Amino acid sequence: MAKDESEMTEREKEIARLRAAEVFMQKETGDATCGTCGYKYQMAKGAGMTAPPNTPFELLGDSWACPKCKSPKAFFTPVTVEIAGFEENQSYGIGTRPARPPARPMKVGSRRPSTLATFAI
């Protein structure tokens, strides 16, 4: 019986260690809320004529203002989501890893040398 309790204690220690290592990262969604009037800018919808759909709030110009109360962009608070996980793993999530550079385009009419031609005798 005493052995089961010590194993449980070790297990609980491991759980506590893992919980302490878990870090919560805040990631912006592209949406924002006006601190003056409560208007919610939604990236998917945009803001009429001033911002086309699928434009993240961060990419709007500094001169952009709230369509309802005309407050400047600085009065908006970005909407964030909390991403849980271990700090060393958070850079591998969707949308957080840097993109690879694009492959070099081939010229029209050019061909890569065939491996058969390379090894032909």
In this prediction, residue 10 carries a pLDDT of 86
pLDDT tens by residue, 64-85: 999 999 999 999 999 988 776 6
Are 43 and 55 contacting, i.e. CB atoms less than 8 angstroms apart? Answer: yes
Average pLDDT over residues 13-36: 84
Q: Which is higher by pLDDT, 33 or 102? A: 33
Instruction: Give Cβ neighbours of residue 64 (< 8 Å, ≥ 6 apart).
Output: 47, 50, 51, 72, 73
Q: Which of 14-23, 42-51, 66-75, 108-117 has the lowest mean pLDDT?
A: 108-117
In this prediction, residue 109 carries a pLDDT of 55
User: Is the pTM above the cut of 0.85?
Assistant: no
> Is 107 strand, coil or helix?
coil
Are 42 and 105 contacting, i.e. CB atoms less than 8 angstroms apart? Answer: no
